[in-house]
Amino acid sequence: MDNIRITYTDKDCAHRAEELGSKLGIAAVELENQTDKLPRAGKYVDQYDLHISPCGASLYPRDRKVHGPIQVDFFSGVNNHRRRFGGGNGQAIAKAVGVSGRFYPTVLDMTAGLGGDSFVLASLGCNVKLFERNPVIAYLLADGISRALKVSDHSASLRDIMNRFALTEADSMSQLDNVTGGDDYDVVYLDPMFPHRSKSAKVKKEMQAFQKIVGPDSDSDFLVDRALQLARYRVVIKRPLIAGYLADRKPHYSLSGKNTRFDIFALQKLPS
Ligand SMILES: C[S@@+](CC[C@H](N)C(=O)[O-])C[C@H]1O[C@@H](n2cnc3c(N)ncnc32)[C@H](O)[C@@H]1O
């Protein structure tokens, strides 16, 4: 956490920022304005601000020129566009997980990140239990869920979707240590970090920030065995197309898109 500051400009947010700061063991810093005088080039390489404002929590690179802010937004932007025009049950993630008009699996997402994939599944009707262990990422996600629940006062469908989401900030491996498999989760979904080496401008801002804040998830191989114990019907692992199998475990089959592959362990036939 030594590359993160908790910041705020609006005094009404001081309490929230300080509370978060004390949880993470980082002092909250009041900024004169959100752009905070730009630092000397290179001085704040890889440093981030988790900025608390009345509009929610956002992650900014401390050198604001690196990329724009990251905020979890379930009611507009990419998530909403994908919900409305993403292709419904025909999209690869839906086929991988096995959502159909007749079957809405209960999904355990052991590596939630910013919740984008889980949001797609919840939009299609699945109940999703999410675990995220990185406190900065978990905070951004919880903040996005809470803002969506407020907006959803006006939108029954968004409220229904958000009510299918249950987030816990914890390491899924240790949290589920004593849970016996097979009963609670139809499908276990994994999407751990893959160590991208590219510095290309094409790398999305979320991925750039995750590389600096989360790192490579070097223990992710261990998730596979646990997932196989916990899933009733399937384990689905999202991988970049160029990546090998997680833990070198060959799945029963894969569904590939342009950049992404879903590796699928099919443990039982899905209910029809
Ligand atoms: C590539 S991101 C997931 C992106 C996500 N699928 C989405 O749509 O936003 C991987 C995330 O998994 C989290 N993670 C990795 N191992 C975990 C574990 N054992 N328990 C909880 N979270 C974990 C990391 O902190 C990181 O935020």
Q: Is 131 in the pocket of ligand 1 (CB under 6 A)?
A: yes
Residue 12 Cα, ligand 1 centroid: separation in angstroms?
Answer: 31
> What tens digit of pLDDT does each residue of 6-56 get?
999 999 999 999 999 999 999 899 998 766 555 555 677 889 999 999 999
> What tens digit of pLDDT does each residue of 245-271 get?
999 999 999 999 888 999 999 999 999
Query: Is residue 70 a part of any domain in this protein?
Result: no
Are the C-beta atoms of residues 123 and 161 closer than 8 Å to each other? Answer: yes
- For ligand 1, atom 14, the nearest C-alpha belongs to 111
Q: What is the CATH number of the domain that holds 102?
A: 3.40.50.150
Write the single-letter amino acid at 16.
Answer: R
85 and 43 fall within a common domain: no
Average pLDDT over residues 161-173: 95
Which residue has tokens 């929610």?
56
107 and 25 fall within a common domain: no
41 and 84 fall within a common domain: no
28 and 126 fall within a common domain: no
Q: Which residues contact 137 (CB under 8 A, 6 or more apart)?
A: 112, 113, 114, 210, 213, 214
Expressed as residue numbers, the domain containing 21 is 4-61
Report the pLDDT value the prediction gives residue 207, as an integer from 0 to 100.
87
217, 224, 237, best to mutate for ligand 1 pocket (most atoms within 8 Å of CB): 217
- For ligand 1, atom 25, the nearest C-alpha belongs to 134
pLDDT above 70 covers what percent of the chain? 91
Question: How many domains would you assign to the chain?
Answer: 2
First to last CA, the chain: 47
Report the pLDDT value the prediction gives residue 170, as an integer from 0 to 100.
95
125 and 217 fall within a common domain: yes
pLDDT band at 80 (very low <50, low <70, confident <90, very high): confident
Query: Where do the DSSP E strands lie in 36-190?
Result: 48-53, 56-61, 107-109, 128-132, 165-169, 185-190
> What tens digit of pLDDT does each residue of 97-142 get?
999 989 999 999 999 999 999 999 999 999 999 999 999 999 999 9
CA gap 187, 233 in Å, rounded: 6
Question: Can you say how many angstroms the Cα of residue 52 is from the centroid of all Cα atoms in its chain?
Answer: 19
Report the pLDDT value the prediction gives residue 199, as an integer from 0 to 100.
55
Residue 272 Cα, ligand 1 centroid: separation in angstroms?
Answer: 31
Q: Is 116 in the pocket of ligand 1 (CB under 6 A)?
A: yes
Query: Is residue 71 a part of any domain in this protein?
Result: no
55 and 83 fall within a common domain: no
pLDDT above 90 covers what percent of the chain? 66
